[in-house]
Structure 1
Amino acid sequence: MAIFNGVMPVISAYINAALLNSLAAAYIGTVGMEVIMKLLLLRFIYIFVNHLVGNINRIVTRIYGELVVQHIKKMIMDKARTIDLASFDDPEFYSRLENANNEAGHRPIQILESTFSIMSTVISMVSFIVILWGISPFAPLIIIALSIPSAVINFIYRRKNVNYIRHRSKERRQMFYYSNLMTNKDLVKEVRIFNLSDLFIDSYIGVFRKYFAGLKKLYVEEGSWHIGLDLVSSTVNCLLYIFIAGKVVAGQIEVGDYSLYTGALSSISGGISSLINTTASIFEGTLFIDNLIAFMDEEQKIIPLIEAPLKVKRHAPHEIEFRNVSFRYPGTERDVLKNINVKFEAGETIVLVGLNGAGKTTLLKLLIRLYDPTEGVILFDGEDIRNYDVQDLYSIFGIIFQDFGKYAFSVKQNIAFGDIDKPIVQEEIEEAARHSSADEFIQALPDGYDTPLMRYFEENGIELSIGMWQKLSIARAFYGDSDIVILDEPTASLDALAEQEVYNQFDRLRKDKMTIFVSHRLSSATVADKIIVLKNGEVVELGNHGELMANKGEYYTLFTTQAKYYVTTDKNGTQRIDDGTVRSEFIEAPDNTETDNTSE
């Protein structure tokens, strides 16, 4: 295709020159109409073939373009699934990710097309240089010499442009963020009620002006250089056109040859300009492709420490131990967890308690190895957790995060994501939904378990309340075949009755599994085998409900502070729950800690 595109302009120039010469000869009667007709037929055959091949080329280009874009996007997605969670906490990683995503859609195609374009342009230029050499060897050399400053300017400003955009990734992310705030359907209520629209729009405009000011300066500088160079180039081209016209006047070449040589002159000038711009575009594209390469080279650190990773023994009791574990997030200096020493025994129900920011969720992230400790070691069944196959380790955990996923799939699929590797069985899906108290509202949906959720793709997509979404996330945990159940604020969006029913179901279904959960509603902690109280990243208390209430420490303070909103005191000093039941032990732990546990 490159050869075809390179040769066709030369053929066109020769046909046009022959046609003009024949018309001039026909005017004086030395050539007949049949010659003119043959040349015109040849001209229109040329036009048809050129258009035919051009259309075929566009079809092929669009097809392989889509395939290349799909391939690059899949590469990014495949890489994203292996990248450590810690990378997503790094702003520089987000810059690389954003740049890779932004350029993946068109840069590879642009570079490929530009490469073929260069080949075509070179073939055409060489052919026209040979033609023009016939009347003056200096003409093509002058044109080439004039192109050098333009080439230098192009490459200098392409690099400046790429560096500017790369170093302003933060501003682009800010513009996207402010724009998204105005179009996010989940935020539109607050934006309207609190009248935040003007603030977000002004913030967007402010960042854009700062970002655009630098770009505008680069554009004006580059354009000014090119205007000056174009003035010089146009003057020289004008002189060369006069030189060729003089040859015609002197009778040294024919009128048709004037068209051939001036066409060659224009084609060389345009070809050099195209060559400079295309080469500069490829250069710019390769600089942007560096973003993709940098993203693809992101190092994965959450990997087994040993060459032959250990496999987790499934459907068996497990123990987890934190030994002198401290952790700080990448790029920060503050320890979020400090010298943690706790042991999670097989079959235990463990509750993590503490104020917001105490380190509860971070501890869970370390426990399932989304992060590795900054100091210390975590033992899983007596082995360093880093010695296990990572995906095999993940497969034993059934997890509900406090920021659970909401997926634009059907209800059935949302539940089935709890164990993606096993076939979807309708009866098991429904059973999981019943355990999470989701079955009732699912049955009321237009298409039941096949109802599409969210309105991203389907017009009949259903928008669920946050409480309904939480019930679906809990159903995922029930559906999964996990050895260890981890619940991070699993009932935060549920009403009291639904919360109690979910905990009752968990208590029946967990069997001998280790269950770890975080909850700010401390009434759920009373049935736990072990309560771990965290404060400022440290374990300040450890025990069961009765023991910790008797200690009257941090847990006692948290529990009684929360309980006072549910307990009333009569004139005799007797404390009662809202239904009138006498529950003084709800506040003050008796001497017999076992009695306290069973009473709750």
Structure 2
Amino acid sequence: MESQLRFRGPPSGPPPGPPPDMNKTDTPTPPPGPPPSISLDKLASSSLPFPSGPQPDTPTSPTSGQGFDPTNSATSKHINLGVWDYYEEKAPRLNRVPLVKIYRRMTQGLSGAPFAWRLMKDVVRLAPVLVWFYLACIGLNAVMPAVSLYYSSRMFQVIKDAVEKRNVDSSLLIQIAVARGVSAFVQRACSYGMQRLAPIISLRVRGYFAEYILQAHARLDVPTFDDNEVRSLLETVASDRSGAWEALSESFNIGSIFLELITQALVLFGIIMESNDSLLLVTLSLIGPIASWWSRPIRRPEGAWIAKVNNENYVRMMGLKKVATDRSHRKELVAGNLQEYISQQYHAARAQVGDSAQEFWEARRYHQTKNAGNPIALAMPLFRDLPQIIFALRAIHTPASIPLSLAQLDLVQRNVTAFSQQLENFSHIVEGISYSFQTIESLYSIIDIPNHIPDAPPDALPLALVQDQKVKGLGIEFRNVSFKYPGTSKYVIKNMSFTVKPGQLCVIVGENGAAKSTSLKLILRLYEVDEGEIFIDGRDIRTIPLKSLRQCAAVLFQDFSNFPLSVRENIAMGSPLHAQDTTRIEEAARLGGASQFIDTLPEQMETYLSRPVHDMAGGLGFGQHTLLGRQFNTAKGGWGRKGGKRGGRAQDMEVSGGQQQRLALSRTFMRSNDENVRLWMFDEPSASLDPLAEFNLFERLRDMRGTNTMIFSTHRYGGLTRYADLILYLKDAHVAEMGTHDELMALSGDYAQLYNVQAQAFRQDT
């Protein structure tokens, strides 16, 4: 199938967009065609809920929360939930009226209807035959209850005629019996068809939309990806990949129930018109459902809300719990003999908090359960039995009609009850329709999130490949550059100026936090400078296409990461064009110093250091088990991630920090023979290496330097600085000293002082 995914603009340039219930099918939907344009400001202000707790408890009003003031008792309500102070926006009184609430929810959801319609068309394109057959099943399944009700009423009429006239129309009786049987079979077949088709469509849509979400994530630059608003939207979408299908399923549900209600209402209306008793029956039968509906407490907030912890002992108690249960604190806990102290302190904090020690969602459910009773709810059995009581009183006056009256009562009451239940279901689903449409809108909108770093104009020329090997390296110039990270007010670079000539070896040194790593990130334009200019080969960096700029540079960051892929692919991703070149991958591993430790891995190049999907096992004894070539750690508990009681999952490989860095170096060395590379940048490349490995690494780097420009940031002097054409000593957010090693030593400044401090440890006379 041809992919329908389309992105606006180039990948690096300006960008390319709960829970329903349709037999509980889970799956997302694909977005063929270009998504509608939507600004990030709209995404941030559209009140898309980003819940931290169960979805059903999220606010549903798309305009709620504007100007919400928890301290204003006129517009907000305060409830104490033990260790939580809970404030919620007061809902309009008319929202207590069921039909008014349904109307408001439907009108709120209409703004997202175009996205739902677009999603519907996309799903049909994805699996047209399956979807149309599925919709046919939904439609028939919705009509069948009304058909069954119609023939039940006809059956009752035949029985009534037989009692009153002593005559039975056998042909009509057979027709009714056959029709009832056929309608029951069709309804059953439709339900079966929906159950079989929904998972198939769901899985197809889920896979398709997973690709869409991945591409939407992949195209974002660093500051955009780190933006809190963007992260909230992306995490919401990524954590609920089935949201699109569920939202569409909810739309189908609404249409199905609406069709069912209309057809049943028409049949009930016909029954009422045929008999005065039927009108009385329907009226009496509706009293119970209406009273139940009216008396039900509102379980989800109608607007904005906030919950604040009011007990510091509870906060401390939960902190102690994390210390005891989180793996990241295990070494400190054991080495410090903290077991008894933590247990004692937790017990003391728990005693102070008492029974109020509940997580928010648990405390809220407890409060709702405790306050669920009300006078109408207590009288519900009376309301339900009211029709029988009335007809019992009537039977005293007309005892001969008791059999027919009871049969008619049973027919009408059963169907009115079913009708009211569907109406109640309809109200529940409509309550979430605005959220569902927001889910669809957010899924389509993630592809339109604009990148913070705009690309060069479309007609901008790429960096030229230099044919003269004597001047192959890139020239770099900072002119009065100032920069602070997004969301912060402190400048990490202030009025920085320097020039690295083509082919030079430049070493950036300084104390921790001196912006050495930041300088390298700015050269790759991972962030935009706040003031000043950066020039690459004499061109303003903003006029160079981002793809061309980054294609000319090979970089290793200090805060590198290795991917959750095989060792082979981790290295190969340094140069995707040569990802299938085994010889090149092995050479890169040798240059990075990783060959020796890779040979010791269980599957060598095919080993996953961190598997993104774990093999699962269950029913095992406690301890470690080796099955099918995998090691499993078992733990007692529920099914979840551990695989069940005495179940477990395959363990990840544990490697040292130095081995991790060698692997990252190998990935960088995949471009060692790449003619496009004109700049090599290494940010603390030996931070996790032992002295011998560091010495060998620097030897290899000097050997492969050639005429490329090479920039290092490091806090270790000597290994590189003595060979550098240019040393930049950074201090207080700017270049404090600049020159060669000999020139800076002659200055007897900060560089010379730190160099001597490091050299002193190796002198025999100290």
TM-score class, shorter-chain normalisation, is 0.7 to 0.9
CA RMSD of aligned residues (A): 4.3
- State the alpha-carbon separation in 2 of the partners of residues 420 and 388 from structure 1: 22
Question: For residue 497 of structure 2, what is the amino acid of its counterpart?
Answer: N
C-alpha distance 451-269 of structure 1, shift in aligned 2 (>3 A): closer
Report the structure number with the largest CA radius of gyration.
Answer: 1
Matching residue of 2:279: 136
C-alpha distance 157-151 of structure 1, shift in aligned 2 (>3 A): farther
Matching residue of 1:3: 139
Task: State yes or no: 1:392 paired with 2:548.
Answer: yes
Task: State yes or no: 1:442 paired with 2:598.
Answer: yes
C-alpha distance 23-118 of structure 1, shift in aligned 2 (>3 A): same
Q: Give, in angstroms, the shift of residue 559 of structure 1.
A: 0.8
CA contact (8 A) 1:15 1:39 kept: yes
1:81 pairs with 184, 207, 218, which one? Answer: 218
Where in structure 2 are the equivalents of 1:89-238 lying within 5 Å?
Answer: 89-102=226-239, 104-133=240-269, 134=272, 135-136=278-279, 139=282, 143=286, 157-160=300-303, 182=325, 189=331, 192-194=334-336, 212-213=359-360, 216-217=363-364, 220=367, 238=385
Matching residue of 1:298: 449
CA contact (8 A) 1:325 1:338 kept: yes
For structure 1, list consecutive stretches of 5 or more residues without a partner in the other structure. 166-174, 570-574, 576-600
Matching residue of 1:360: 516
Q: Give, in angstroms, the shift of residue 392 of structure 1.
A: 2.3
Greater displacement, 275-284 / 358-367? 275-284
Q: Give, in angstroms, the shift of residue 512 of structure 1.
A: 0.8
CA contact (8 A) 2:565 2:611 kept: no
Task: State yes or no: 1:513 paired with 2:703.
Answer: no
C-alpha distance 292-60 of structure 1, shift in aligned 2 (>3 A): same
C-alpha distance 374-14 of structure 1, shift in aligned 2 (>3 A): same
Question: For residue 393 of structure 1, what is the amino acid of its counterpart?
Answer: L
Greater displacement, 239-248 / 440-449? 239-248
SS, match of residue 542 in structure 1? strand
Q: State TM-score, norm by structure 1.
A: 0.79
Matching residue of 1:553: 749
What is the CA deviation profile of residues 385-422 of structure 1, one whole-angstrom value per residue up to 9, with x for unaligned ones?
11222122222221111122222322221111111133
2:430 pairs with 244, 255, 279, which one? Answer: 279
Matching residue of 1:585: none
Task: State yes or no: 1:334 paired with 2:485.
Answer: no
2:729 pairs with 533, 540, 543, which one? Answer: 533
C-alpha distance 218-87 of structure 1, shift in aligned 2 (>3 A): farther
- State the alpha-carbon separation in 2 of the partners of residues 149 and 259 from structure 1: 20
CA contact (8 A) 2:152 2:411 kept: yes
Matching residue of 2:667: 476
What is the CA deviation profile of residues 124-148 of structure 1, one whole-angstrom value per residue up to 9, with x for unaligned ones?
2223323333132994699599869
CA contact (8 A) 2:247 2:439 kept: no
More helix by share: 1
Where in structure 2 are the equivalents of 1:231-270 lying within 5 Å?
Answer: 238-240=385-387, 242=389, 251=401, 255-270=406-421
CA contact (8 A) 1:129 1:140 kept: no
- Of all paired residues, the percent bearing the same amino acid is 27
Q: State TM-score, norm by structure 2.
A: 0.63
SS, match of residue 409 in structure 2? helix
CA contact (8 A) 1:244 1:262 kept: no
- State the alpha-carbon separation in 1 of the partners of residues 532 and 609 from structure 2: 43
- State the alpha-carbon separation in 2 of the partners of residues 387 and 153 from structure 1: 63
Task: State yes or no: 1:542 paired with 2:738.
Answer: yes
Greater displacement, 58-67 / 293-302? 293-302
- State the alpha-carbon separation in 1 of the partners of residues 207 and 295 from structure 2: 35
What is the CA deviation profile of residues 315-360 of structure 1, one whole-angstrom value per residue up to 9, with x for unaligned ones?
5432111111000111211101010101121111111101111111
Matching residue of 1:498: 693
- State the alpha-carbon separation in 1 of the partners of residues 292 and 203 from structure 2: 37
SS, match of residue 398 in structure 1? strand
CA contact (8 A) 1:151 1:276 kept: no
C-alpha distance 254-138 of structure 1, shift in aligned 2 (>3 A): closer
Greater displacement, 224-233 / 349-358? 224-233
C-alpha distance 293-330 of structure 1, shift in aligned 2 (>3 A): farther
Matching residue of 2:656: 465
- State the alpha-carbon separation in 1 of the partners of residues 754 and 459 from structure 2: 46
- State the alpha-carbon separation in 2 of the partners of residues 410 and 309 from structure 1: 37
- State the alpha-carbon separation in 1 of the partners of residues 561 and 375 from structure 2: 57
Matching residue of 1:584: none
Q: Give, in angstroms, the shift of residue 552 of structure 1.
A: 0.9
Aligned residues: 557
- State the alpha-carbon separation in 2 of the partners of residues 181 and 383 from structure 1: 56
Question: For residue 663 of structure 2, what is the amino acid of its counterpart?
Answer: L
CA contact (8 A) 2:250 2:429 kept: yes
Greater displacement, 449-458 / 40-49? 40-49
SS, match of residue 533 in structure 1? strand
Q: Give, in angstroms, the shift of residue 468 of structure 1.
A: 1.5
For structure 2, list consecutive stretches of 5 or more residues without a partner in the other structure. 1-136, 273-277, 308-317, 467-471, 615-629, 632-651
What is the CA deviation profile of residues 280-310 of structure 1, one whole-angstrom value per residue up to 9, with x for unaligned ones?
1223334555665675553312122434233
Q: Give, in angstroms, the shift of residue 463 of structure 1.
A: 3.2
Matching residue of 2:569: 413
Matching residue of 1:563: 759
Matching residue of 1:12: 148
Question: For residue 414 of structure 1, what is the amino acid of its counterpart?
Answer: N
Matching residue of 2:717: 522
CA contact (8 A) 1:17 1:256 kept: no
Question: For residue 121 of structure 1, what is the amino acid of its counterpart?
Answer: I
Q: Give, in angstroms, the shift of residue 58 of structure 1.
A: 1.6
- State the alpha-carbon separation in 1 of the partners of residues 551 and 374 from structure 2: 64
Question: For residue 541 of structure 2, what is the amino acid of its counterpart?
Answer: I
- State the alpha-carbon separation in 2 of the partners of residues 237 and 380 from structure 1: 81
- State the alpha-carbon separation in 2 of the partners of residues 487 and 193 from structure 1: 36
Q: Give, in angstroms, the shift of residue 65 of structure 1.
A: 2.0
Greater displacement, 237-246 / 276-285? 237-246
- State the alpha-carbon separation in 1 of the partners of residues 430 and 370 from structure 2: 18
Higher RCO (CA 8 Å, separation ≥ 6 residues): 2
Greater displacement, 333-342 / 302-311? 302-311
CA contact (8 A) 2:680 2:708 kept: yes
